[in-house]
Chain A
Amino acid sequence: MGNDLRNKADNFRDKTVMISLQSVSKSFPRSQETLPVLNHISLDIYQGEILAVLGPSGCGKTTLLRQIAGFDKQDSGSVRMDGQEVVKPEVKRMMIFQDFNQLFPWKTVLQNVLFPLQVNRIGESDAANREIALQYLQLVELSGFEDSYPHQLSGGMKQKAAMARALALQPKVLLMDEPFGSLDALTRLSLQDLLLKIWQETGVTIALVTHDIQEAINLSDRIAVMGRRGVAGFKEIIPNLLDRPRVVGGGGYSEIYAQVYSLMDFRNENE
């Protein structure tokens, strides 16, 4: 069934598949029984796209992203990137968490970005790494805060710094788990704009988990809607071909909103 739905996205037929999930299942042990979370999920992520993964809280979005990142091992099925099985976290798949704590508090903003560059020997010299770090801090509009410590930054700035740190390593894909979920509405909008700008400038592939329908519509090329935990998997993957920049109430916006809305399971996760 999932395959039929995927084929609806005709416009994406000619795209290259970068990451491919085949029938991935994952459950967690509970005191008595096991809690099935992902149940035979299949999904392709195309090179260069922004894929939004949308679903009610507790449906398994984070679990899904963690399998793709390589943090957790699926019970069955396979996660492949460029044909190779994903077995551990790697620099080419950078995870951005919702948690502001992903920056290292004992390093300044610049050091946070610089340190992984040095570890991975990205630049040819320390000076070159520094250049790269500064360049990505500029890209996320954090110039001037290089020497601040994370605890001195606002939530939005912390997320920007985390993006700079990830992007500086030139990953093939950004896996973003509700990265703007803890931000106030205005900051969220400005970071969405920034993310689009970054995407256009770097061409990085993005898988963005969100529970915000507007965020999904504003940013993505496709919206994968997940149903309730453990059973429904992906209900539908909706191609989102609206012209950019997208504005609420613009042509086609309300139609796609209604389509997504009708697919969302709002029932309590414990039911």
Chain B
Amino acid sequence: MKNKDSYGKKTKTRLLWIIVFLVIWETIAQSRTFPEAIFPSLPVIAKALGDSVVSGEILLQTGWSLALILQGLLVGLAAAVLLSSLAVRSRIFDGLVDTLTAIAHPLPGIALLPLIIIWFGTGTLAILVIIVHSVIWPMILNITTGFRAIPPIYKETGLNLGLNQVRIIKDIMIPASLPYVLSGIRIGWARAWRALISAEMIFGAVGLKGGLGWYIFKQRVFMDTPGIFAGLFVIVLIGIVVEDCVFAAFEERTVKKWGMI
């Protein structure tokens, strides 16, 4: 109950500030201090957004980006769980995974772009590689920390109850470390989303589809500032929806319901 109240309050405060922000924006735009092409007013942006929704373009590009990021997230998550399981089980793997993470974690996906283009070209595979790279290291860090923080009693109880090693991982270690896994996915998602948008801007369209990043970039070429804002608006919206709806709802249904956080 208390959580819900504070959640509602947070939403209200946020809404209030968004309205304040929009009013200031509109006042500046209407004052014509800056040319329309640089600082478009809200109705113009809304129209640009509406038009590209109607034409289907922004939906198509967003769908494309989301599909890519989902694939990358799933591959990254699966690989991270596998490597983390090996790392907490074997000393040799622990050293290997730890070293790999130490080297790769600080490398922003974007810094790898030139190399990835040489190795994988500029197609979807290259984008997936960037997404997986952005996702996998923070996830490994979180999942191994989570695995190590599991009270030994869960594992011992599991063994006593007749669970085999696969079940110990699947039915004990993953649910027991879910709060950590979730925060790993959160960080992974945020990083992947940034990397994806940047990569799309650089790679351009593959056929018709270039994703949301390409959409925004393309509007600049046409000097379509309202279109740029429309694209940015969609990025922000997706960020908020994923954070507040998808992740928060999942948390509410799992770790919060179980009293684990």
Q: Which residues of A contact B (CB under 8 A)?
A: 69, 71, 88-91, 93-95, 97, 99, 101-102, 104-106, 115-116, 119-120, 149-152, 165, 169
Contacts and interface: CB of A to CB of B under 8 A. Distances in A.
B172 A104 contact: yes
A116 B176 contact: no
Most buried by A among B151, B154, B161: B161
B26 interface: no
Contacts of A94: 160
Nearest to A99: B153
Interface in B150-191: 151, 153-154, 156-157, 159-163, 167, 171-172, 175-176, 178
Contact of A89 (B151, B159, B167, B258): B159
Nearest to A97: B153
Contacts, number: 64
Contacts of B159: 71, 88-89
Interface residue range, chain B? 20 to 34
A178 to B, nearest CB: 14
Given A94-B160, A95-B156, A149-B257, A101 B171 contact: no
A149 B161 contact: no
A236 to B, nearest CB: 30
A119 B167 contact: yes
Given A105-B259, A119-B161, 14 more contacts: A71-B156, A71-B160, A91-B161, A94-B160, A97-B157, A99-B153, A101-B151, A102-B154, A105-B260, A106-B176, A116-B162, A119-B163, A151-B258, A165-B161
Q: Which 10 A-B pairs have the closest CB atoms?
A: A151-B259, A116-B161, A106-B175, A89-B160, A89-B159, A91-B162, A105-B258, A106-B258, A120-B162, A102-B157
Contacts of B160: 69, 71, 89-91, 93-95
A104 B171 CA distance: 10
Contacts of A99: 151, 153
Nearest to B172: A104
A150 B175 CA distance: 14
Contacts of A69: 160
Given A71-B156, A89-B156, A106 B260 contact: yes
Nearest to A120: B162
Contacts of B198: none
A175 to B, nearest CB: 9
Nearest to B171: A115
A239 B252 CA distance: 54
B145 interface: no
Nearest to B178: A106
Contacts of B161: 91, 115-116, 119-120, 165, 169
23 contacts: A69-B160, A71-B160, A88-B159, A93-B160, A95-B157, A102-B153, A104-B154, A104-B176, A105-B259, A105-B260, A106-B176, A106-B178, A106-B260, A115-B161, A116-B162, A119-B161, A119-B162, A119-B167, A149-B258, A150-B259, A151-B259, A169-B161, A169-B162
A94 B157 CA distance: 9
Interface string B119-161: 0000000000000000000000000000000010110110111
A152 B156 CA distance: 23
A112 to B, nearest CB: 10
Contacts of B162: 90-91, 116, 119-120, 169
Contacts of A91: 160-162
B219 interface: no
A185 B17 CA distance: 55
A153 to B, nearest CB: 10
A104 B257 contact: no
Interface string B207-224: 000000000000000000
A152 B154 contact: no
A176 B257 CA distance: 29
A152 B161 CA distance: 23
